[in-house]
Structures are given as C-alpha cells and as structure tokens.
Chain A
C-alpha cells in the first residue's frame, strides 16, 4: 500500500493500512474542508478530496447525501460556506461559473431547446469569442467524436435520449475544459442503453484526456466508469478507493451495505492476533485470516459477500478449521437469474443468509431447492471485519 498522501482523507482498511492510495500524480483538483450549509442544514460536511489529472472520479451516494451540492460547488452554482477548491493550484472557490475552466454535463442534459445541435455545441465557443472558422472546425470535430454529424441541423427535441446525451457530452467537451463534471450522466437513459453507453462514454472521455468528476447514485455506473469512487452519506465522505477496494475492503457497515449485497454477522472479538482474529457470533465462530486494529471483547461485524459463500449438501470437509466458518440453514427462497442463482438461507438464529451460486455447469448434479437443509461455508480470507 502506498504512502499517506498529504490532505488525503484517512481511509483505513480493516487491516490497518491505507486502502485508497491516490495514483502517483499531482493533486490536480484539491478540495479542502469544504462545507455547505442551507439555512442551518449541513449538506456537505467538511469534505476534503484530491483528484488526479486525467482521472474519472465518481461521487456515489443515495439521493440527498450531498453529492450534487458538492458538484454544484465545483461548477460554481453554489458558493461554499467555508473551505477551498484548488484547480491546478489556483483557488477557484470564489469565481463565478462563467469564468471557471470547468464544464458540466447536466442531469437530463439542459440542452437549449431553441438552438440546433450545432449551435448548442458552438454556444460555449462563441462566448470565448473564437473566430468563426475555428468554431466551425471545433464543432465539426466534436460532432464527429460523438457521431452526430448528420444531426447538426436538428433541434434537441427531434433527437432520441441517447443522441441528446451525446450532444450534451459534445457541448461540455467543446471548450476543452480542464475539468468536466458529469451529473448523473446516464440517469435519463433506459437500462440497456445505459450499459452500452457507459463504456462508450469512458472511451470518449479518455480519448480527450479530460479529468472528470461524476455524480451518480448507481453503483454499477460508478464502478464501470470511474477509476476511483468516493462513497458519500449525510454530507460526509465515508471511503475513497478504486472500485475493487471499496467492494472488497469496505471501511464501515454503511459502505459494505451500500456497495453490492452483503451478509453482516454481529459479534464479539474473542481472539486478536497479528495474523488472525476470531470472532464469536450467535451463528458461528469466524476465523479471519488477517489482523485488525481492535481490542478483545469489542463489538464488531463480519461482512461476507454472497458470492464468496459455498453451498453444499454435506457438512464442509475441506475447511482448515472444521469448527469455524460454516453454518447450517434451510433454503427459504431462491431466485434463478440466469448467470447465477440467489439463495436465501434461514439460519437457526433466524438470520437470513444470502448466497449466490454461479451457473457454471449447465446441468449440475445437485441443486438446492425450497425447504432443503444445506451447509454454507466460506474460507478465512472471504470476510471483512468492520469496527464502525
């Protein structure tokens, strides 16, 4: 794990190391202790972030978590109550939006309805007072980039949702901003189109090489597009990290629960060694193959992702410690989803354990069904111990 970057939020993984080390690069966009209050209500609470040049950074959270307010402060539509924003070393927190070298792709696009596609893309360039031929050249290039050249003369309402989204992208890229902001960039598209557009959008952004901050409530979108993700709740940033880091080593219960599905066992730390810990929960004894920062007797949660659980007909025989890391349960629910099957197991304590089994074989020998008594087990590295 890397060095602690100065000003970087101290995000500590369960094993006590820094989970999210920023890629070795200068801090292109630096947010320092940013606070925004609306009539006494804190929308953004002391947020500090460093974002690197060329990075696609996602602010992920449910609605009302302050992510949009943070983005609007970057764009200049909201003035921070306190704190500073540095872009490429310059403090921009007090600049009005029309001076900032930042462009935003708005949620549901905000394309000017009275202007053609061409004029929408040219709008920002005209404000810079560029000569006509340069504007034309740049607009043509942008429309080529998003493959909308044949639609230049159309008005926004004559385009499909996907085309409008590409016009919005071209418009916000046309001025070659130092920073691009994306507010729920694919939120207005239907699911199939969204999936197709995610990678296309990333390819275009990367080909231009612009630094991006995006806001989304869709974790799949964030994980597909972003190189790093910040998870926000109630105005605070809970964890910053690459997609696999926030998924595999969540820093707290909220993050573990917010990103993907998780089973949480509540218990007590009974054995704390440097290379392993043992946690007693009502369901079973957990032997975790890595150390944590904690004290014996403290209350902790053990988080296990459903896909890390194996389901067997017989008690597991291949475990290193036969007394640990397995439970018995009854299948109360199952959902076959094609590529995998979700099982809900009811344990003796009443807890519902979620487990997913990938459909590796077309016709497996044995498939649990409703009412079956089965055994669920997992290995000692499958778990994350959460102390907060």
Chain B
C-alpha cells in the first residue's frame, strides 16, 4: 500500500508538473480532437444532427460497433473518382514549391541577417516580424489588390509601357505561389537565422585557409552545418502549406487544387462530415508518416552526437 502511494506521489513534484503541463495540453487539445475526427471519419453520413451516425450502439444488452471505412477507402479509389488523389498530389506539389522558394529567398536573407552588425540586428529582425503586426487575412487581401487585372501591378506595367493590356495574374498558380511564399517566408527565415547566427566563423576561416574559395566554403561548410536550420524551416513551411486553405481560396484559381479547399467544400457545401474528417485524417497521415521516417533516419545518422 505504501509502495503504491510513493509511486503515485512523485519524488520531484515540480519536475513532473513542468513536464506534465505540456503533456496534458497536447492530450486535451491535440490527441483528443484528433481521435474525435478519426471517429467521425469512420462513421456513416446521415441527414440530421449530428450529421453522422454513431459509432457505438447499445440495444438489447448488445454493444454494437459500426466502423464504416467507405469514406477512407473512397479517397484512394482512383478508378472511380480521382479528385482526391489529384488534389493531394497537387497540394504536396505547391507545398514543395513554396518550401523551395522560401528556402532560396530565405537563406541569403537569414545569412546576411546573421552576419550583419550586432547593433542593427534587432532592427532587421523586427522588419522580418513586421508583417505579423497586421492581420494575415488583410495582407492576403492586399495581394488581391496588387495582382488583380486592374490592380496596382498591372496598372504600373501598363503605365511603364511594358505591356499593352492587363495580364491575368490573380487566381493563377502564380498568384497562389506569391501568396504562399510571402506568407510563409518568416517561418523559414527565423529558424535559419537562429542556426546561422551560431555558426562559428572560424570554420569558414579554416576552410579559406585550406584553399576553399568563399563560394566553396559556403557549400562545403555553411550549408552542411546549417542543415538542422534548413530542416526546421522547411518543415515549418511545408507542413502548414499542405493543408493551407485561406491563401488558395483567396488567391488560387480553379486549376490550383489544394486539399484545404476540398475539405472546406465537403464540410460546408456538402455537409458531409465523415468524408471531410477522412480527408483530414489522410492529410495528417500523409505528412506525419514521411516526417517520422525522416526523423528516425536523421537521429540514426547523428547517433546522438551534435549536429
């Protein structure tokens, strides 16, 4: 009995509390909602409130469990309806392009930020954060105004004589990419900056000393040593980009299929909660499984050593 009590009361309550709070948070606000969504995805649709049939039934002392996998299976039923498969691939494609573009723009950005004089660094950092001071939605709307047929950019180019008539930019893959890269660039810059600012300049000096030109030293030393920053930034951009809804809805066009919009349509237009839940579950699996494999590989490679 005493043993049980000592096991229940931790020896170091402060420590358990500090670890316990985030655990509790994640269980309550991540795991439980996910399980609810998973449950809905495996139930049948019905007209009524709620708009899905219960998973568990209790009648005549019988506990019945009805698991319907039709919603999940139908997403992969390419022969019948390939909308979902095509949309998933399209989402992954746009997310990948956004990540690459953010990396190409963000890396030099973060590099010069990290190499700038320490006195002006806070100002530069604030400029990176500045867009967060305005609503995300407003900023995406602003892009609508810039990219519209009679928007700022077209008018400017006509005035300059570069083009004769407006170029259609809004509701194209181009406007989608502009919005996504614009919106997610800070998420790439910040982890890269945090990584690059720690990079010891002596490694670059050693590389130069051994005959590496600055360009060679960049590829052989800076890039490999900032790998963890590149990975962190890419994940912070890629993962939310796959499920992004607002930007494709406002700036994307009919040809820019993204899973977020399909999910929205299933939930709000078709009122098909189980199918929308299935779409969400598959999206999560689509992101988590490759990431888990990647992380495992990464951990094995480093062998617990430093990066």
Query: Which A residues contact B (CB, under 8 angstroms)?
Result: 75-77, 96-99, 102-104, 106, 110-114, 123-124, 127-128, 155, 157-158, 171-172, 175
- Interface footprint category on B: 20 to 34
Which of A103, A111, A128, A157 is within 8 Å of B209, CB to CB?
Answer: A103
Establish whether residues B202 and A106, one from each chain, have CB atoms under 8 Å apart when the complex forms: yes
Separation of A266 and B207 alpha carbons in the complex (Å): 52
Which of A106, A155, A171, A175 is within 8 Å of B205, CB to CB?
Answer: A106
Establish whether residues A112 and B221, one from each chain, have CB atoms under 8 Å apart when the complex forms: yes
CB of A136 to closest CB in B, whole Å: 17
Establish whether residues A98 and B212, one from each chain, have CB atoms under 8 Å apart when the complex forms: yes
Separation of A106 and B202 alpha carbons in the complex (Å): 8
Please list 12 pairs of residues, one from A and one from B, whose beta carbons are closer than 8 Å in the complex, sorted by A's number: A76-B208, A76-B209, A98-B210, A102-B209, A103-B210, A110-B203, A110-B205, A113-B306, A113-B307, A123-B212, A157-B305, A158-B305
Which of B211, B305, B306 is within 8 Å of A175, CB to CB?
Answer: B211
Which of A76, A103, A110, A123 is within 8 Å of B202, CB to CB?
Answer: A110
Establish whether residues A112 and B206, one from each chain, have CB atoms under 8 Å apart when the complex forms: yes
Establish whether residues A97 and B306, one from each chain, have CB atoms under 8 Å apart when the complex forms: no
Contacts of B207 in A (CB 8 A): 112, 123
Establish whether residues A157 and B306, one from each chain, have CB atoms under 8 Å apart when the complex forms: yes
Interface-central residue, A103, A111, A127, A155, by most chain B CB under 10 Å: A127
CB of A220 to closest CB in B, whole Å: 26
CB of A179 to closest CB in B, whole Å: 12
Q: For residue B205, which residue of chain A has the nearest CB?
A: A77
Establish whether residues A124 and B211, one from each chain, have CB atoms under 8 Å apart when the complex forms: yes
Contacts of A96 in B (CB 8 A): 208
Seed contacts A76-B209, A114-B227; 11 additional CB < 8 Å A-B pairs? A77-B205, A97-B208, A98-B209, A104-B206, A106-B206, A111-B206, A112-B207, A112-B221, A113-B306, A123-B212, A124-B211
CB of A17 to closest CB in B, whole Å: 40
Contacts of B220 in A (CB 8 A): 123
Establish whether residues B206 and A128, one from each chain, have CB atoms under 8 Å apart when the complex forms: no
Contacts of A102 in B (CB 8 A): 209
Establish whether residues B213 and A98, one from each chain, have CB atoms under 8 Å apart when the complex forms: yes
Contacts of B212 in A (CB 8 A): 98, 123, 127
CB of A267 to closest CB in B, whole Å: 49
CB of A215 to closest CB in B, whole Å: 15
B300 located at the interface, meaning its Cβ lies under 8 Å from any Cβ of chain A in the complex? no
Within 8 A of A (CB), among B203-245: 203, 205-213, 216, 220-221, 224-225, 227
Establish whether residues B206 and A110, one from each chain, have CB atoms under 8 Å apart when the complex forms: yes
CB of B219 to closest CB in A, whole Å: 12
B61 located at the interface, meaning its Cβ lies under 8 Å from any Cβ of chain A in the complex? no
Contacts of B12 in A (CB 8 A): none
Contacts of B221 in A (CB 8 A): 112
Establish whether residues A127 and B210, one from each chain, have CB atoms under 8 Å apart when the complex forms: yes
CB of A128 to closest CB in B, whole Å: 6
4 cross-chain pairs, A with B, having the tightest CB-CB distances, nearest first: A124-B210, A127-B211, A110-B206, A110-B202
Q: For residue A122, which residue of chain B has the nearest CB?
A: B210
Separation of A104 and B306 alpha carbons in the complex (Å): 25
Q: For residue A168, which residue of chain B has the nearest CB?
A: B206
CB of B217 to closest CB in A, whole Å: 8
B200 located at the interface, meaning its Cβ lies under 8 Å from any Cβ of chain A in the complex? yes
Question: Given the known A-B contacts A110-B200, A114-B224, are A123 and B210 also in contact in the complex, defined by CB atoms under 8 Å?
Answer: yes
Contacts of B216 in A (CB 8 A): 127
Separation of A62 and B210 alpha carbons in the complex (Å): 28
Separation of A277 and B208 alpha carbons in the complex (Å): 56
Q: For residue B227, which residue of chain A has the nearest CB?
A: A114
Separation of A246 and B221 alpha carbons in the complex (Å): 42
Contacts of B206 in A (CB 8 A): 104, 106, 110-112
Establish whether residues A114 and B225, one from each chain, have CB atoms under 8 Å apart when the complex forms: yes
Which of A106, A155, A172 is within 8 Å of B305, CB to CB?
Answer: A155
CB of A365 to closest CB in B, whole Å: 58
Contacts of A97 in B (CB 8 A): 205, 208-209
Contacts of B203 in A (CB 8 A): 110, 112-113
Separation of A102 and B211 alpha carbons in the complex (Å): 9
Contacts of A155 in B (CB 8 A): 305
Within 8 A of A (CB), among B260-307: 305-307
Contacts of A124 in B (CB 8 A): 210-211
Interface-central residue, A110, A128, A157, by most chain B CB under 10 Å: A110
Separation of A175 and B209 alpha carbons in the complex (Å): 11
Separation of A158 and B303 alpha carbons in the complex (Å): 11
Separation of A225 and B306 alpha carbons in the complex (Å): 34
Separation of A171 and B216 alpha carbons in the complex (Å): 18
Separation of A96 and B200 alpha carbons in the complex (Å): 20
Separation of A138 and B182 alpha carbons in the complex (Å): 50
CB of A176 to closest CB in B, whole Å: 12
Q: For residue A104, which residue of chain B has the nearest CB?
A: B209
Separation of A98 and B307 alpha carbons in the complex (Å): 26
